[in-house]
Structures are given as C-alpha cells and as structure tokens.
Amino acid sequence: MLVLFAGTLGCAMRGIRQVAPETTALRDAALEKSRGPVLLLTDPSEETIKQFLFLVDASLINVENLRIVGIHHASDPLDTARSARLLEERQVTWFSLETVHCELPDDPFVFSPSCLAAFSELFERSDGIVFSGGPDLPAADYQEAQSLLTAPRSLERTRFELALAAALLGGKGWRDGRDALLESRPSYLVLGICLGMQELNVALGGTLHQDIPFEIYGLYTYEEVLAEPRAAHRRYRLGRTTGDLGRFARHRLATTPAWTSRGLPDLDEGSPRVLSAHHQAVEQLGSALEVLATSRDGAVVESLGHTRFRSVLGVQFHPEHEAIAKAALSRGGPSIDEASLAAHRKLWSWISGALIASAEARMGAVPTPTSTPTPAD
C-alpha cells in the first residue's frame, strides 16, 4: 500500500478519480496483509537516507519486508531530487519519498483541517516514525528569548515536525478536544534522534538549554570546553585539528531504572560509548515524559521515554551514525569498540521489535498492543 503512499495525499486533494470505497478497502486490506512494517522518516535528505541504507545493510534494523517512507512538508526547501537520484542509482525499491501537502500555520501548534487529515493519514498507514537529527529549534517554539548561540535553520521543516509530534503524542495545541493519535495504537514506534528528541520534548510543552557549555557548565571559550571534557557533547576544533569522527564526540551514559524497565540494553556493562553532536539539551521536561539516561555527571539529559506510550523513545546521541553500521559490517572507518557495537546492536533490536509489534497491531495480529518490545539476546 505504501509503495503508492507518496502520491496518495496530493491526489486526493487534487480530486483525481477515486476507486469505489468498497473495492479500495478490500484491495488495501489484502495488500497490507502481504507486506511488512512501514517506517516514516523525517528529513529524507541524501545523507539521512544513506545512514538508514547502511543500518538495513548491516542488519541493525532487522525487519522483514520493511518499507521506509521519507516524508517532508511541501514548504520545506529540502532537495529531494538528490535523494531520489540516490535511491534510483542504488535500485532501492523499498524506500520511497512523500511530500505532504497541507496548510501549515506559522504557529506549529495551531492545526489546520488539512493537516489534521494529513497527520491522521500518515499515522494510519504506518507503524512507526523516526524524527531525525538536524539544526537548532527556534527558541520561540518553547516561549523563550533566543540566545545568540542558537542557530535555527530549516524552519519549515521543524514547524512541520513539531506539529506532527504534537499530533502523535497529544502535545501542545492538539490536546484541545482531541486524543493523541497513539491512543488508538499505543504500540506505535516513535524514535527521536538528537533534534528529534528535542522536538518531542518541545511538542509536549518542554524547554531546552540553548547551549550546554555556557548554560550548564558556565564555560565561554573553546579552550575551556577542551579542558572540561564533560561539557563537550560535540567535537570542538581549534585551528585545523580534527578527529576521525569529525564533529561527533564519543562519551558514556548513565541510565535510570526506567531505561532498564523498557528492556533497553545495559549501557553500564563494558562501559559502551555513544556518538553525539549537539550543543543544546532538554531543560524542563515535557508532559508525560521521563528521563531514561543522562550524561555520566547527570547534567545533560541523554534519553527520554513516554510514561504511557512505551514505544516512544528519544535519544540525544546518534545510534544511526554510519560508523556503527560500518563496524557491524567490518568495513573499517572510525574505531568502534566491541562493547559499544554490542550495545548499539541491542538498541536497534529493541527498535526493530517495537516496529514489528506496531505493524502486527495495525494488521490485526495483536488485540491489545501495549507490551514493551524486548531486544534480542
């Protein structure tokens, strides 16, 4: 069904001839039974798509008959032509692109009728979504004055994604007389990576620290950050020096009991490390969110979960970094130690399990889909 998803919303709005509803329903039901899980991916840039192709190639995302649909709003200037060329050159038929056409107000938490319909359509035809990484959010989205250290870009993108996150989770604006979309399928997977986790928090009424070194650690210069490794959640460069991971920094986490209770991998065993590239962080928690992991000193929130929807996971680090997949494929690249690779395998196994459980619920295989996915051994 979702191989044709890229044109569905736009065709309906332009009034293209429709098949009889009864015929469509029977055909679509048969089609869905014969296909596997559908994962939505925001910001389907060429680079983002490459990362997810790597994850599938390395079997880190291990889901039979998986289909991924890259989504973005029509107002977003993202160059999808490059993304389409990449998919065509690599002959990837299970990954498609969709432009969402709906009236998106300047305030992301005001919902037009066309976006109400579009968000419901996206949810009903998919089993999970990844809100991917990206630039800073405008501070106005969480009602704060904007620091000179905050550098928002892709405003059309973040406006769309904040609205979609609020619709899925019952966040700001959406709460007025409407149930969260996830109420009808609580097992639906929502994964927020870096910017994506911050979007989940802001969509639920939370706020952000606009610069970790300055606001949390009281540091003002690159030299001070280099002398205080706890403050470096991305790599800072002086002169022409660089590292094998570019702007990404390696560091360890401290997990809470809530992390373990969801079946997520033990990050203390063997002291695995994650890869980060951010300078902003969660400050005030959004509604119904809980902290699952922090930096080792407890100062920076590194993972969030939803207290009701157990397959909602935000991570401030980057488990999709191609270095992880290359290590799994033994293709060289930046060195990833065995403990870190094993932890990332288990994390992606948990994510894969959540996606499969959501697909089974959508296709009628699971009557009450509220269980927490369990990672593979």
- Cα–Cα distance measured from residue 100 to residue 200, given in angstroms and rounded to the nearest whole number: 20
- Residue in 373, 366, 322, 319 with CA at minimum distance from that of residue 351: 373
Helix (H, G, I), strand (E, B) or coil at 347: helix
- Does 146 map to a domain? yes
Looking up residue 192, the CATH number of its domain turns out to be 3.40.50.880
- Residue in 80, 137, 21, 36 with CA at minimum distance from that of residue 355: 36
Q: How far from the centroid of its chain's Cα atoms is residue 283's Cα?
A: 19
- Cα–Cα distance measured from residue 294 to residue 286, given in angstroms and rounded to the nearest whole number: 16
Over residues 107-163, the pLDDT tens digits come to 999 999 999 999 999 999 999 999 999 999 999 999 999 999 999 988 999 999 999
Q: Give the pLDDT score at 196.
A: 98
Active site residue 115: no
Helix (H, G, I), strand (E, B) or coil at 35: coil
- Does 186 map to a domain? yes
Contacts of 221 (CB under 8 A, 6+ apart): none
- Cα–Cα distance measured from residue 137 to residue 153, given in angstroms and rounded to the nearest whole number: 8
- Residue in 231, 273, 234 with CA at minimum distance from that of residue 251: 273
Active site residue 46: no
The residue from 320, 321, 322, 344 that is catalytic is 320
Over residues 83-115, the pLDDT tens digits come to 999 999 999 999 999 999 999 999 999 999 999
First to last CA, the chain: 33
Over residues 275-288, the pLDDT tens digits come to 999 899 999 999 99
Total residue count of the chain as it appears in this document: 377
How many CA atoms lie less than 13 Å away from 58 in the CB half-sphere? 25
Structural domain count of the chain: 1
Residue 326: how many other CB atoms lie within 10 Å = 17
The residue from 209, 306, 318, 344 that is catalytic is 318
- What is each CA distance from 232 to 113, 240, 248, 284, 287, in whole angstroms? 43, 18, 10, 21, 28
Residue that the structure tokens 């690779």 belong to: 341
- Does 248 map to a domain? no
Q: From the DSSP assignment, how many helices (H) and strands (E) are in the chain?
A: 11, 13
User: What range does the domain containing 300 cover?
Assistant: 2-210+257-269+281-362
Sign of the CA dihedral running 79, 81, 86, 87:
positive
- Cα–Cα distance measured from residue 21 to residue 18, given in angstroms and rounded to the nearest whole number: 8
Q: What does the DSSP 8-state code read for residue 131?
A: E
Q: Give the pLDDT score at 12.
A: 32
- Cα–Cα distance measured from residue 103 to residue 9, given in angstroms and rounded to the nearest whole number: 13
- Does 246 map to a domain? no
Active site residue 278: no
Give CA torsion, residues 244, 274, 357, 61, to 10 deg: 20
- Cα–Cα distance measured from residue 115 to residue 108, given in angstroms and rounded to the nearest whole number: 11
**What would you measure as the largest C-alpha separation in the chain, in angstroms?**
68
Q: Compute the chain's Rg from CA coordinates.
A: 20
Residue that the structure tokens 């004055």 belong to: 145
Q: Give the pLDDT score at 15.
A: 28
The residue from 115, 194, 199, 322 that is catalytic is 194
The one-digit pLDDT tens for each residue of the chain (377 residues) are 333 333 333 333 322 223 333 334 433 444 444 479 999 999 999 999 999 999 999 999 999 999 999 999 999 999 999 999 999 999 999 999 999 999 999 999 999 999 999 999 999 999 999 999 999 999 999 999 999 999 998 899 999 999 999 999 999 999 777 899 999 999 999 999 999 999 999 999 999 999 989 999 998 888 888 888 887 788 776 665 556 667 788 889 999 999 999 989 888 777 899 999 989 999 999 999 999 999 999 999 999 999 999 999 999 999 999 999 999 998 877 789 999 999 999 999 999 999 999 999 999 854 443 344 444 34
Q: How is residue 298 written in tokens? A: 């407890």
Q: Are the C-beta atoms of 291 and 301 separated by less than 8 Å?
A: yes
- Does 243 map to a domain? no
